Structure 1
Amino acid sequence: MTTPSEPEGDQLDPGLSAIMSERRHLINLAYRLLGSLDDTEDVVQETYTRWYALSRRQQDAIASPGAWLTTVASRICLNLLSSARARRETYVGEWIPEPLPEPTEWITGRADGITVDPADRVTLDESVNMAFLVVLESMTPAERVAFILHDVFRYSFAEVADIVGRTPAACRQLASSARRRIRAPQTPAPVAAGQARIVKDFKQAWEVKDITALIGLLDPDATAIADGGGIVGALLHPIEGAEQIARSLVNLEGRLHKLTILERTVNGQPGLIAQQDGITVSVYAFDIAGGRIRRIWAVRNPDKLRPWTMGPPHQESQEQQVVPER
């Protein structure tokens, strides 16, 4: 990501550091609203571009620059969410939100020479776990914006109303509707240690192709979804059922040995990554309840794996295919 261009002399502006200190907040807000780092980068860039397009008098007249930046970014996200629905109708296969590594694991030097600043990293918490983000995808754009602003970032409904252009009462209703979507599929979450143990057991069973162990770790009605974006091979449709998923994994014999499977934090939860020659080619997130895996999300689209690797963004080879096949 690059810093927005600044008018000559702004380096000496004592207010500049305060304006740029909002960057992390904007990154965190936009990612939760959009589920895409590429779109998040565009939103933050455009937000700062609009700020610097203001005259000095206009900037000085803004009582709270941070609130102004948040309002602008949120409105851009709202517009993008509306257009994203149309874009995803033409997306090849399933669309999964972009997976994020633990902040300490983010690559700081990229092949294109750009350094990822710590302020550009999304803070991980329960509002970015993959199951949560997937439910957010089922919301209308207005529901998602109202819910994230109010329930996650604690903006008042009066502030949300000003951002989305609706009444506070309407925003309250939007957030309430979104909240019902979030709560409907939820069950008590296992503790992190329990999740990590299940993921570790899954990894070991997969590596030795123990189909019985895999079935035992999966919920009978489990679902596996992959996202290749039409760039690399991946499932076009979900696989349903523990036995079908387990057999699909075991049928990858002859390919799995060419990859290294590692335990990693994915969106704040225990997950797995598959690497080839040190390059991350797949990221796996899990939804676990009742001691079993209910959902597996496998992200293979290289455009969504930039934070995970310094390697070329569009490497493709036959042995990279590690998502379950029919």
Structure 2
Amino acid sequence: MYNKENEVLLAYSFEVVAIKEREEHVRHAVSRRHFRYAMEPHIVRRHGDDVQRTASKRLMGKVAVITGGARGIGAATAKVFAENGASVIIADILDDLGTSLADSIGGRYIHCDVVNEADVESAINLALAWKGKLDIMFNNAGISGTEGSITNLDMEQVNYLLSVNVNGILHGIKHAARVMIKGQKGGCIICMSSSAAIMGGLGSHPYSLSKEAIIGLMRSTACELGVHGIRVNCISPHGVASEMLVGAYRKVLGKKDMTPEEVSKIVGERGSLLKGRSPSLEDVAQAVMFLASEEAGYITAHNLVIDGGFTSASSNMSFIYQ
């Protein structure tokens, strides 16, 4: 039976419910804003300049193994990883350098000759013993090897180069993949290649062979491991004034006292579309960090070339743009 008082009470009840729903919606919206603000990187400005840096830790809680991590690109990457919250294991044959660096970044060092599969497995087992998992494997160790004409190559030296540059990375992928598959949380494997794999004439025959083989291995393993959420990628730098490249320049140019700065200047003038700009160790380390981070979460089977455009285009005829 119709009752005016009941109608008023019912309308009032609906209004109370609507108000509560609006209040709940507002509360959740404010909560989401606060959460988003807390999760956003905090931007700080350095005193004395306009350079902005983020205080976010892009690899917080991650555990990484870096072969050849005692110096050069490996060492620069170890520092960047640690600065971004990762626990880093440096695996190398340079015990003094590796131990000192590991101590300085709160990491661990292990002697590791990547030619020996057992050494690589031990480095990965150290990650498990220390932190109980492995998130990132950076297969960085490599050598420049023998040079000279294809007609005079010493095959013993060639085979040794391949055992380091190719088999060493194969060992790293194999044992990292085993642990990551078992952990069932995905992972990231990054392999060091080179611009010599992209363009002929940038490295010796054996070196070029090894670096292009690495790209093929990366792509095939990415095909297999993707189903487990494991990403596999390559980094291919060009012209980084590492000890390896500086040593090669000294030998070829007959200048034993040639400095990294001189090598960088030559690369910036002749080996880059960004005239006067040569790559630094940190440029490569930042690229490795990107591939290791969640920002690259949908990138796999990719070769990231860091060459200032050198292997993609030539500026020899830039006069036509004038």
Structure of greater relative contact order (alpha carbons < 8 Å, 6+ residues apart): 1
TM-score normalized with structure 2 length: 0.24
Larger radius of gyration: 2
TM-score normalized with structure 1 length: 0.24
